[in-house]
Amino acid sequence: MSLQPGHRRLATVAVTAVVFVALLFIGTSVQVPFVALGPGPTVNTLGELDDKPVVDITGVPTDPTTGNLNLTTVSVTDGMSLFQALGMWMSGTYSLEPRDRLFPPDQSPDEVREQNQQEMTGSEDSATAAALRYLDRPTKLVLTSVADGGPAAAELEVGDQVLAVDGQAVSTTAQIQEAVMSRAPGDSVPIAIDRGGQRQSVTVTLAARPDDPEVGYLGVTPEVVNADPALKISYNVGDIGGPSAGMMLTLAVIDRLSPGELTHGDFIAGTGTITEDGVVGPIGGITHKTRAARDAGASVFLVPERNCAEAVSDAPDGLTLVKVANLDGAVDALDAIGAGRSAPHC
């Protein structure tokens, strides 16, 4: 039996209404497996956050600073509905990424946050080490952990200062790694240390690295730390995680502990990881960070060399992108800009 035209119209309207309601429910209520990444807050490492210095240096004279050395961040929006995700993507300001890239299925959100905080703490430690080494201030290389049951467990202790490995003087983590990795598992390696003010030598038989059985393994975690008991450096970056603030924190310490101004009164922003040796590493979300910096008022952005191609692909108008490979290069570039000379551009 066929429906009359009026009945068919009512049926069509009813079906359309049901489909519309279903789509509306799905679009507003069902979370999508994506997160939205966008420009995040920027923080002036030469200024204050919540009435506390972002880089707090006490115990030694510091030099007055002006201008900005802003670290930059990426905002993450999670728990979005389909309509919210589409709206953020269509805005042109945000990008969508699969959620499990930032929140792996085998980790809880709290575990991810804890990992990000640990990375920030490590970044702060590296920033202190890199700045002090750049300024030729006293540092020492100490062991922060010794693996239980590892090859060095019977000979080395947490707190030992490492002076030399296999006859080679060492002052950074990389130098220890190079000395150990040049030897094979089973080799006996002499290590000179200072323990409680007493210099001594111990010998450790190397094991094989868990990820490479052909390479020697010592089983310790060394770290370059401040060796001036009067100097205290601490950081207050708020609820920011990850390692990408390292370079900007390092520059702030250098600016505060050396004469003159790295910024020359300008608004500088940037990003990049830092090692104890002053090597600047790449980060994620560079185009969101350059946009955040420009929106905050920056005129110059320090870009890790390996991020340059991506940064140039969507550079905001009025923002000069300066290429940086290491700490020496970053300081030289800022000096050049302040003197009106050209700096390496992306």
Cα angle 38, 39, 41 (rounded to 5 degrees) comes to 135
Q: Which of 244, 299, 313, 323 is catalytic?
A: 244
Q: Are 193 and 201 in contact (CB under 8 A)?
A: yes
| CA separation for the pair 188, 340 (Å, rounded) | 55
SS3 sequence, 195-231? ECCEEEEEEEECEEECCEEEEEECCEEEEEEECCCCC
| Active site annotation includes 244 | yes
**Tokens 């505060």, located at residue:** 256
| CA separation for the pair 219, 151 (Å, rounded) | 6
| CA separation for the pair 230, 221 (Å, rounded) | 25
Q: Which of 123, 126, 289, 323 is catalytic?
A: 289
| Active site annotation includes 52 | no
| CA separation for the pair 96, 82 (Å, rounded) | 12
**How many beta carbons lie within 10 A of that of residue 254, not counting itself?**
21
Catalytic residue positions, numbered: 244, 289
